[in-house]
Structure 1
């Protein structure tokens, strides 16, 4: 239902745009889009960069509006570049510049000085028409803004910056004088009612639920024109399954009567929190340690909840991880979390929801400001249980003085949002002297610091359930780590200097998640890893030599799920041992990678590799398979089993294979195929016949000469051909859905425009 009345929307070139009585933000977005892409503006609009502030109170829809503009197809075609950066209260020019630069180049900018970052950004923007979104700006310092915007002045005409802010003063100092801000005001009850019915009933109005109309209108009135409040209350009522009696209970909640000024949190959000079950209240309150604008993954939060015993399954009930995922999705459905605008696999909390989490957590959580010697008076609780802080490039001893008061209470020590992950330095005193005194810790992280070792006293933290050493320079873990019998999660991602794990790791009988992704220097796994029968995550089983665990140790690990890599398979001496890995029984594994080392001696007999691969057959429901550096001359028969439901397949550096298996005939579900580095493959024909491929990649095919596809590719959207210097002929015809094509170093290939769609 759209409102019948709306205020006229005027051009912000001449006067203030006040937008109210609008259903959602779609119409407003259309106005802003016209301002951005229309060529019918005065010369004033051609300043570089043009800045459009979007101003309004928290929860009124500023970010939603900016997101609608950012994702519109007209923006995609009009601008050469676009980028989104969250700014927030901690205004750091270098950090914002780095975020923008890395989004545009995918280049690692860690540790680089501001002037170098700005020079590189200028190079990237020079002569380009760009759109930059600076979301949630608070800083009122004009000099900071002048310095931040300096690289943008080299862009092409009509380049634009959209700034969202709650602060009129920020809007005034950032905008061009000729361009007035977009001022968002409270929505009308009519507009809010449309949002309400959409989120609660998935309908345009109450026509199918007339008994709920009156009480629904009352809820909307109490939300006072804030779309975020409407969505939050809608999330509560949606859970109540359209039961009018339950709706009435929520409406009678006495929290509605508490004035906003008393607690600073709007009553609609307090009611939403009050209506949560007790287990969700505890989990949500714990999230108060997450900084504003921090993007988090579902699994990241669930593992922290587990470590703090916030997930308590009943006996014989589902796994903690599955129950934690349900908790997370419940909070998401109630709008306590929302999907990130930048990374679809991550989530954020709106600032006002973050404020609510801090309010209900009270003194149990302490989020340390990253300001040494700040004049800001922080309220430091006496005995907090959980603490997080914003890491910086150099975290010195003085920063952590306050933690000496928390030795009898602290359970969580969590650095977040390191500005220079992998290039941040931590005072030796912190991990060698301070942390071992925090003997109540359940959660400990040094993620991203350039630490090379831990003290043996780490083993005294007997309550520890979560230890994150990812992206550190650690070479060896103290043997005492194997005495942390309560440990559930050990994260060692991209510890690329780590050579071995504690020899008695098998003693960690409660360990559920061992992530060593990217720990490329590991020489093998400790003996008897098969005793870790609770393991659900084992990112990589490294087949070592001598006294390392063998492949048979996989057999007892019945609960493995998600992703598994088995690497250095050349160290499997007896091919029959691979049978005891029982991969076919591990039905919760979705992604499997089987890898041999690339630098195997050429003289080594590789005939046994086919025998090993034959014994490593996965279950039929596997969605993705990678076979890398395989030295056999042909692929196993199970790869073309018609019962496979495989969606993605990678065959990389299978250098002795001279032909591809008939994938199309046997793998009808296959959509994504990567063929790389098959040095002896010369011809490809009808192997894909019957496939419904959507992406197809051929890379580093030195001897490939002939591609004579006997079928069309009706669903192919992406095609990539790289370094196929001997490939002759033409591309397949009738690529009706092709959206992206990449052809590099294929000098003999004839490419005709008739192969591509007429779009």
Structure 2
């Protein structure tokens, strides 16, 4: 049942402090009805890393997620799952197996089939029940009256109790109805009106929406009803910002200020939004505090009340027929995909009165592609449009006909590759909002931009190639958002004086390329001190150091840009003056919370901020190349985050005695900093120290629960640290010597140890104490550039070599070590099998030139490799020119799932047989000149999904039994292999999704019959086939999504019947005859490829030329 509290309960678990301390990692993913394994995996990975993973495929995402989870105890919440496909669940959970024991996945769902499919058979699903009447009353009084009960409002008790009873134990319904009454000033008459609403009498079965929610909607004012109904175009689980929705409401004319009222539309829209939020029609996101979401039932309610005025396409791929789509729809949205073809938009030709065209939830903004037909042919026919967005699509230009959309009020071109806007855009006199965020190719705005007199919001944030602003930007006096004023070199650009008349500016303002100011005194004319609604100010010069610059003029510019005292955030970047302006060192900014000073390269000292900025919480200092000393007056006692980065000459730090509120401290690349870190910071929970070689890091002075990441610190003082300390080192990197870390006892929770550039290191472990060094949680070990390393463990060594070793017990007794990477260790010849930890899951060896035998049996050892490495799942060997055997026994571990051998020219065989390797999923063999072949039993590998063989000239044939039938990816590159592919049963691979074939000198045309049977084929790569001229006349598989043709000199035409309508990507490289026929707007093959969303020729996007 929806609205019963499943997500709320999961959220309470997720945020519980005990849960927080138990798990190393946590992630939350909203899954919803549109289940996509790659999208959910990306959401989880981004939740764990806070990094953008846009443009990456599922394999890359899962590899990275597996690396992130490796050996960690994690908690993942999968919220609102509907999908009952077992195969999808198997693919999604694959990386989770890398986690440590105790890891948990919590799934919330309304579907019992999902719970039985995904649950651990030892754990019964927990089914939430409807709340008791007493619990509902408690929720009701809290939200309606801000009280625990009715004791202060006895006259409302009987009505409240009856309303709660009608909500039938559903907490969402109780919250929503309480939100309606909250705004009625405890008026009994108003409460009675809600109780007597006739909607209570409509059975839930009529539309599937609880009556209480319908009543809540019915009690909204007319303007709130319209705004809420418009939100029906927002997909379920779509997270939105307040400003985003308010600007859409404005564009559609849903916000109408009173005639005699001076309130701005934006402020009134914000009140509307907050009103709906207080009534639980919107909820705050669980992941991002600045974003909001609608509950599924609320979303259903919005769709119900919007009726035929709104159309939402939820088929991300397209191609679904929409026979019941409302012809009179005025507002539309659709789920974008990475490649959106023409067919997806056929339904839009019906919507002659469409006002809103809005793509949402694109999987990788900036890396998605839209069929040329949509912006150039479809959209110009939608003459009633008020809202138009191409946000996230890689489009290069707009049609001049954009100027014919006279009603347009909102245009979003963010994350596109637009280089120039057509001049016709300046005839859009009704335009209120123009969004150009991260338009990294945009060079200039139209010259008559000043004609857009109704423009209120211009966002050009991160449009870093913009050369300047057009003349007379100051005439746009309605502007409230101007994210960046770019000062250009040319006289045709607006100067800083143009800021003067823009008195309605609010939010964050950036002024960049300040070096282009001709008269420093003009800075005062910007009148920043009068702009009371600007809360954030960025002042940026370009990044270069010019000794001939007039440093005095830069100070004069900065003095003239004195902001209003309401400022809460200030950033100064690449300032070339020798000192900071007086206004920064005076008590003028009582509300300043954040300050960033970056690359102010001529300043020799930092201002005494602690004395003058009493509210300062976040301080970031970076690239102050001439600062040598930082005094106690610099930092304030209210600081919560403090960052010093790239301070090359900084030597002395005399901090104040304590930082009572500091939560986070970061010191990066401060190579000359001497002494110790400050003491007394009881709230500190995160410390990052990298490349601070002279700094003494005393761990004993930090709080127990503080998490550390320390690299390249040669003065690590662990005195006072005891075994079992809660201090956590995610990574320690040792370079040049092992002496900094001779005592392991203080590193109780070290997870990752990296050793590099230790030229004298010969053996890693030596049991000099006969006891376990306290590294029970070490999960990953990396060894780079240790040219004399001979082995991981040595049994007997002299006293001199003892100093160049780490304790042997670290390898023997470690119960968590799961990953070992060894790179560039030229003396290493083999591993003794007993020296590898039994918990090892991943082993990667690269560039070890003397390695001749990967795993060698110990003397008198009767076990084979498969028994001795009981958990190994991933084995990768690259560029080991002396390697002759993988294991002396000739067998691989039975648990192996992925095997990759590349650039090992002496290796003749992978293994004697694969009889025991039933879990193998991927095999890659590349550039192994003497590799003889694959064993006959390979067809029995029922788990094998991915097989790649490339540049192995000694492999003359494939086992007669043919390919494993469950293959989904196959790459074969060799002329004898390619010619015989279909004889080996390629046409039987009905599950094949991806096929790469190349290296054939004889292949002239691919056989149609063989290709036709590959009914699941989605990706086809053809490369290095010098005589291949064409595809079969009857065409390619109808399932094909991606086609790549590379280095096929004689290839000149596509099938006569055309390319499959499903095709989303086409790449052509070094095919001169075909390239000529595919030129834009030419005859030949152009008509066959024009509607493909992404076409690349010789590495260049077709529309980029």
- In the alignment, the residues of structure 1 paired with residue 322 and residue 411 of structure 2 have an alpha-carbon distance, to the nearest angstrom, of 31
C-alpha distance in 2 between matches for 1:595 and 1:92: 42
| CA distance, structure 2, for counterparts of residue 183 and residue 616 of structure 1 | 61
Question: SS state of the match for residue 55, structure 2?
Answer: coil
Structure 2 counterpart of 1:173, from 117, 123, 145: 117
3-state DSSP class of the match of 1:182?
Answer: coil
Q: Provide the C-alpha distance between the structure 2 equivalents of 1:660 and 1:406, rounded to a whole number of angstroms.
A: 61
> Once the two structures are superposed, what CA deviation does each residue of 1:340-366 show, in whole Å capped at 9, x if it has no partner?
011111000000000000000000000
Aligned counterpart, 1:730: 676
In the other structure, the counterpart of 2:347 is 402
| Matches for 1:257-336 after TM superposition, within 5 Å | 257-315=201-259, 316-336=261-281
Write the distance in 1 (CA, Å) between the matches of 2:355 and 2:321: 26
2:58 is aligned to: 114
* Higher RCO by CA contacts (8 Å cutoff, separation 6 or greater): 1
CA apart distance, 1:112: 2.7
Task: Tell me what 1:341 maps to.
Answer: 286
Whole-angstrom distance in 1 between the partners of 2:704 and 2:41: 39
Which residue of structure 1 lines up, in the alignment, with residue 498 of structure 2?
A: 553
Name 1:32's counterpart in structure 2.
none
1:289–1:366: 8 Å Cα contact kept in structure 2?
yes
**1:191/1:374 CA distance change after superposition, 3 Å:** farther
Tell me by how many angstroms 1:138 deviates.
0.7
Distance 1:263 1:735 in 2: 57
**Pair 1:529-2:529 in alignment:** no
Question: For 1:665, which of 597, 611, 630 is the aligned residue?
Answer: 611
Retained in 2: the 8 A contact 1:79–1:129? yes
Question: Which residue does 2:1085 correspond to in 1?
Answer: none
Q: Which residue of structure 2 lines up, in the alignment, with residue 562 of structure 1? A: 507
- 1:704 is displaced (CA, Å) by 0.5
More displaced stretch, 440-449 vs 96-105: 96-105
Distance 1:450 1:444 in 2: 16
Distance 1:376 1:88 in 2: 22
Q: Deviations over 1:85-123 (max 9, x none)?
A: 111111111111121122223344333332332222222
Q: Which runs of 4+ in 1 moved over 6 A?
A: none
Q: Structure 1 residue aligned with 2:313, among 347, 359, 368?
A: 368
Matched residue SS, 1:104 = helix
Quick check: 397-406 or 528-537, which moved more? 397-406
1:252 equivalenced with 2:196 (yes/no): yes
Q: Distance in 2 between matches of 1:332 and 1:562?
A: 22
Counterpart in the other structure of 2:371: 427
Q: 1:689 to 1:100 in 2, by over 3 A?
A: closer
- Please, which moves more after superposition, 207-216 or 490-499? 207-216
Do 1:723 and 1:744's aligned partners in 2 also have CA atoms closer than 8 Å? Answer: yes
Q: SS in structure 2 opposite 1:331?
A: helix
Equivalence for 1:442: 386
* Structure 1 residue 271: Cα displacement: 0.2
Of stretches 745-754 and 365-374 in structure 1, the one that deviates more from structure 2 is: 365-374
Q: Secondary structure at the match of 1:506?
A: helix
Q: Secondary structure of the residue that 1:607 maps to in structure 2?
A: helix
The alpha-carbon deviation at position 711 of structure 1 amounts to 4.2
Pairs within 5 Å for 1:95-134: 95-134=39-78
Larger radius of gyration: 2
Which residue in 1 is equivalent to 2:184? 240
Secondary structure in structure 2 of the residue aligned to 1:523: coil
* Distance in 2 between residues matched to 1:740 and 1:493, nearest whole Å: 32
Secondary structure (helix, strand or coil) at the match of 2:266 reads helix
Over 3 Å counting, the alpha-carbon distance change for 1:80 and 1:64 in structure 2 is: same
Structure-2 separation of matches of 1:621 and 1:116: 46
Segment of structure 1 superposing worse, 707-716 or 379-388: 707-716
What is the count of residue pairs matched by the alignment?
Answer: 702
Q: 1:518 aligns with which of 438, 462, 467?
A: 462
| Displacement after TM superposition at 1:757 (Å) | 3.4
Deviation at 1:373, TM superposition (A): 6.5
Q: Distance in 2 between matches of 1:541 and 1:212?
A: 56
The within-5 A match list for 1:539-688 is 539-546=483-490, 547-645=492-590, 646-688=592-634
Q: Is the 8 A contact 1:562 1:591 kept in 2?
A: yes
Structure 2 CA distance for aligned equivalents of residues 337 and 519 of structure 1: 32
Alignment of 1:462-477 (within 5 A): 462-477=406-421
Bigger shift: residues 542-551 or 594-603: 594-603
Match of 2:105 among 134, 137, 161: 161
TM-score, normalized by length of structure 2?
0.63
Q: Distance between the aligned counterparts of 2:596 and 2:411, measured in 1?
A: 33
* Cα distance in 2 for residues equivalent to 1:373 and 1:312: 37
Deviation at 1:415, TM superposition (A): 0.1
Mapped contact 1:693–1:715 kept (Cα < 8 A): yes
Gaps of 5+ in 1: 1-56
Q: Give the match's secondary structure for 1:452.
A: coil
Contact 2:311–2:326 (8 Å) recurs in 1: yes
Matching of residues 714-725 of structure 1 within 5 Å: 714-725=660-671
Q: Does the residue aligned with 1:165 lie in a helix, a strand or coil?
A: coil
Match of 1:693 among 631, 639, 642: 639
Q: Relative to structure 2, which stretch is displaced further, 182-191 or 564-573?
A: 182-191
Partner SS state of residue 541, structure 1: strand
Which residue, 719, 731, 745 being the options, matches 2:691?
745
Matched, 1:713 2:659: yes
> What is aligned with 1:490?
434
Per the TM alignment, residue 149 of structure 1 is displaced from its structure 2 partner at its CA by 1.3
For the residues of structure 2 that align with 1:371 and 1:742, how far apart are their CA atoms?
A: 41
Structure 1: how far apart are the matches of 2:699 and 2:166? Answer: 59
Please identify, of 325-334 and 189-198, the stretch whose mean Cα deviation from structure 2 is larger.
Answer: 189-198
| The structure with more helix, counted as a fraction of residues | 1
Rate the CA distance shift 1:598–1:372 in 2: closer, same or farther, 3 A.
closer
Cα distance, 1:405–1:655 mapped onto 2, change above 3 Å: same
Q: Structure 2: 5+ residue runs without aligned partners? A: 706-1105
The equivalent of 2:808 in structure 1 is none
Name the SS of the counterpart of 1:658 in structure 2. Answer: coil
SS at match of 2:551: coil
1:452 and 2:387 aligned: no
Q: Give deviations 1:712-736, integer Å, cap 9, x for gaps.
A: 3222222221111111112222223
The equivalent residue for 2:331 is 386
Q: 1:616 to 1:419 in 2, by over 3 A?
A: same
Give the Cα separation in 1 of the matches to 2:205 and 2:466: 57
Structure 1 equivalent of residue 30 of structure 2: 86
- Sort the Cα spacing of 1:373 and 1:610 in 2 relative to 1 into closer, same or farther, 3 A: closer
C-alpha contact (below 8 Å) 2:477/2:504 kept by paired residues: yes
Shift of 1:380: 0.4
Q: Distance in 1 between matches of 2:80 and 2:636?
A: 50
C-alpha separation in 1, matches of 2:109 and 2:391: 32
Supply the distance in 2 between the matched residues of 1:117 and 1:359 (Cα, whole angstroms): 37
Is 253-262 or 666-675 further displaced after alignment? 666-675
- Are the aligned partners of 2:657 and 2:680 in contact in 1 as well (CA < 8 Å)? no
Pick closer, same or farther for the CA change 1:112–1:738 going to 2, 3 Å: closer
CA distances 1:179-227 after superposition (whole Å, capped 9, x unpaired): 1100111111111111111111222221222222111110110000100
Q: Which moved more, 1:103-112 or 1:291-300?
A: 103-112
738-747 or 525-534: which moved more? 738-747
What is the deviation of 1:690? 5.5
